[in-house]
Amino acid sequence: MALGRARADRRIDYWPGFVDALSTLLLVFIFLISIFMVAQFFLSREIAGKQDQLSRITVQLKQLADLLALERSTSASLEEQLSGLRATLRNAEAERDKLRGDSTAAGDAKNQIQSLASDLEAEKKMSSQQISQISLLNQQLAALRRQIAALEAALEASERKEKESQTKISDLGSRLNVALAQRVQELNRYRSDFFGRLREILGNRADIRIVGDRFVFQSEVFFDPGSAELKESASPELDKLAAALLELGNKIPKDIPWVLRVDGHTDTRPISNARFPSNWELSASRAISVVKYLTTKGLSPDRLVAAGFGEFQPIDPASNDDAYRRNRRIELKITER
C-alpha cells in the first residue's frame, strides 16, 4: 500500500510549468506589440506631417500656376495692343508720305508719329517687365517641383524604413520565442535534475512529495502547530535541501535568471493572536524562516523568494483532519525571476 502511494506521489504534473511558460510568452508578445505600436505611432506622425507639408506646397503651386496663367493672358493682351500700335504707326507713316508737301499736315503727322513711338516704347518696357515676372514665376515653379520631388523621396524612404522596422520586429520576436523556449526547456531540465536529486537525498517520505512542478513539505516537518519558528529536527532536512540547491546553482548557467520560491500555506482554520493576526502572516513568516535558514547555508539571497498564501490555495478542499494536514505545507518551486 505504501509503495503504491509512493509511486502515485512521484507522478509529475507538468501542467503548472507549461502555464508559467505560456504566461511568460504572453508577456513577451505584449511587450513586442507595445514596441510596435509606439514605432507605428511615431512613423504615422512623421508621415502625416510630410503629407501636410506636401498639401501646402500643392496649394501654393496651384496659386502660382493661376498667377502665371493670368500673367500670360496679360502679356498676350499687351502683344495685341503692340500689334495695333504698329499697324497705326504704319498707317501714320503712309499718311505722312501723302502729306509731305503740306508742312502743317506734316508737322501734325510728325507729332503723332512721335507720340505713337513713345507709346510703343512704353509698351515695350511693360512687355519686358511682364517677361521678367514670367521668368521669375517659372523659376519658382521649378523650385517647387524640386521640393515636391524631395518630399516624395523622403516619404518613400520613410515607408521603406517602416517596412524594414516591421521586418526587424517580426524577426526579433521569432528569435525571442526561440530563445525563450530554449531557456524554459533548459530550466525544466535542471528542475527535474534537482527534484530527482532531492528525492534521492530525502528518501521516500509520506510528508514530503512532488506535486506538479513543486516539491511539497508538510508544515509539521519544519514547524510546530501555530508557530513560525523552525524546529530543531528541521535542520537536517533543510541542510539536505541547501546542499542540493548549492549543487544545482553550480550547474545552472549564470545567464539563466532562476530563483527558488518558498511558498507558505495554512489550512482553513483561522488563527488570531498578537503575532499572527491571520493565516497570511503565519504562512509568510514560515516561508521567511525557511529562506533565512537557507541563506545561512551559503545560498545567495538573490536566488530566494518567500511568499505567503494563507489558506487560499488549498490542494484538498475537504474539511477534515487529513485535508487540514495536506493543506498545511511548505512548497518549493524553481522558476524564472
Q: What is the mean pLDDT of each run of 10 residues along the chain (337 residues)?
A: 49 72 81 81 78 79 76 74 76 72 59 72 69 76 78 79 72 56 55 59 61 84 93 91 85 82 95 92 96 94 95 93 93 85
Specify the pLDDT at position 57: 79
Separation of alpha carbons 224 and 289, rounded Å: 13
Residue 14 lies in a domain: no
Contact 258, 334 (CB under 8 A): yes
Residue carrying C-alpha cell 512721335: 114
Specify the pLDDT at position 306: 96
Could you tell me if 172 and 236 lie in one domain? no
Q: What is the CATH number of the domain that holds 172?
A: 1.10.287
Could you tell me if 117 and 222 lie in one domain? no
Separation of alpha carbons 325 and 329, rounded Å: 8
Sign of the Cα torsion 166, 169, 174, 175 reads positive
Tell me, rounded to whole angstroms, the distance of Cα 30 from its chain centroid.
Answer: 8
Residue 169 lies in a domain: yes
Question: What angle, 0 to 180 degrees and rounded to 10, lies between the N-to-C axes of helices 279-296 and 234-251?
Answer: 60
Contact 55, 210 (CB under 8 A): no
Could you tell me if 174 and 41 lie in one domain? yes
Separation of alpha carbons 50 and 154, rounded Å: 8
- Residue 116: name the closest of 97, 87, 89, 140 by CA: 89
The number of domains in the chain is: 2
Separation of alpha carbons 165 and 161, rounded Å: 6
Could you tell me if 215 and 176 lie in one domain? no
Contact 78, 128 (CB under 8 A): no
Could you tell me if 280 and 176 lie in one domain? no
Specify the pLDDT at position 70: 76
Q: Residue 264: enclosing H or E segment and its boundaries?
A: strand 258-265
Q: Going by DSSP bridges, is the β-strand pair 208-211/304-308 parallel, antiparallel, or unpaired? A: unpaired
Could you tell me if 174 and 48 lie in one domain? yes
- Which residue blocks in the chain are alpha helix, DSSP H? 2-9, 15-98, 103-202, 234-251, 279-296, 321-327
Residue 288 lies in a domain: yes
Contact 228, 296 (CB under 8 A): no
Backbone angles phi, psi at 329, to 5 degrees: -155, 165
Separation of alpha carbons 217 and 305, rounded Å: 17
Residue 115 lies in a domain: yes
Residue carrying C-alpha cell 517580426: 170
Contact 260, 214 (CB under 8 A): no
Question: What angle, 0 to 180 degrees and rounded to 10, lies between the N-to-C axes of helices 103-202 and 15-98?
Answer: 170
Q: Is 215 helix (H, G, I), strand (E, B) or coil?
A: strand
Structural domain boundaries, residue 56: 28-183
- C-alpha cell of residue 239: 541542510
- Residue 301: name the closest of 316, 289, 312, 291 by CA: 291
Can you give the length of the chain in residues? 337
Residue 188 lies in a domain: no
Specify the pLDDT at position 220: 92
